[in-house]
Copies of this chain bind each other. A is one copy, B any other.
Amino acid sequence: MVGVRQFDEDNVIATALDVFWRKGLHDATMQDLAAATGVQRGSLYNAYGDKEAIFLRAFDQYAAQFLEAAGNALAHRDTTTALRSFFDMIIVNMTDGSPARGCLTTRTALDAGISSAAVRQRVQDVLGRLEQLLGKTLGATPGGRRAADAHRLARVIVTFTRGLAVMERAGYSRKQLKESAATFVDAVVGA
């Protein structure tokens, strides 16, 4: 290997993720990425091709971390406890930072109209996997739900998490989001 890369790729991707998380795929520019990473625009083009390629790498990292956190949060025997810690995680995830960064998946989903198939696919993947995690949790409850019900409910819960992400963008506080999530869990799982 000759002519060796002068920057740490993991660092660059992690920093790029932060930029995309704050600005979104569409609004983040190559200049933003260059400034944040300290790597010149030209080098980024040379190394990755274009902005979307960088985004896909960053998003994959984000998705893996997000889904792992979701899985961990859901790892409780009691469904109600599992869902509460799940929503806690989700809400902290989107209200973290100052100003809060929001939810990257949701932001990306909203740009679907101007995004490539690859990007749209990643969003669907994350949501699909999240739904599976939730379905497993709901189905595994002792004296459990019928499988079809668990799946339908899982999608409802995923949908509600997306709603929380929108409400966060609309200005609702972490506390308000948590209250809504608590009400939701009580209403849905209490039944």
For A169, the chain B residues whose CB sits under 8 A away are: 109-110, 112-113
A120 at the interface (CB under 8 A from B): yes
B152:A180 contact, CB within 8 angstroms: yes
Do residues B170 and A164 form an inter-chain contact, with CB atoms below 8 A?
Answer: no
Q: Are A110 and B166 in contact (CB under 8 A)?
A: yes
Contacts of A167 in B (CB 8 A): 127, 158-159, 162
A58 is an interface residue with CB less than 8 A from chain B: no
A66 within 8 A of B: no
The answer to the question of A2 belonging to the interface, with a C-beta cut-off of 8 Å to chain B, is: no
A188 to B159, alpha carbons, bound, how many Å? 14
CA–CA, A123 to B167, complex, Å?
Answer: 10
- Asked whether A156 and B180 contact (CB < 8 A) given A110-B106, A114-B27, A191-B187, the answer is yes
A57 within 8 Å of B by Cβ? no
Interface residues in A166-191 by Cβ distance below 8 A to B read 166-167, 169-171, 176, 179-180, 183-184, 187-188, 190-191
Distance in angstroms between the alpha carbons of A24 and B179 in the assembled complex? 30
A180, B159: Cβ atoms under 8 Å? yes
Q: Does A153 reach chain B (CB closer than 8 Å)?
A: yes
What are the residues of chain B within 8 A of A109 when measuring CB–CB? 166, 169-170
> CB of A51 within 8 A of chain B?
no
Complex contact B153–A163 (CB within 8 A): no
A112 neighbours in B (Cβ, 8 Å): 169-171
- Can you name 11 A-B residue pairings with CB atoms under 8 Å? A26-B27, A27-B114, A102-B113, A110-B166, A124-B171, A152-B179, A152-B183, A155-B176, A156-B184, A159-B167, A166-B166
Mark A residues whose CB is within 8 Å of B: 22-24, 26-27, 99, 102, 106-107, 109-110, 112-114, 120, 123-124, 127, 152-153, 155-156, 158-167, 169-171, 176, 179-180, 183-184, 187-188, 190-191
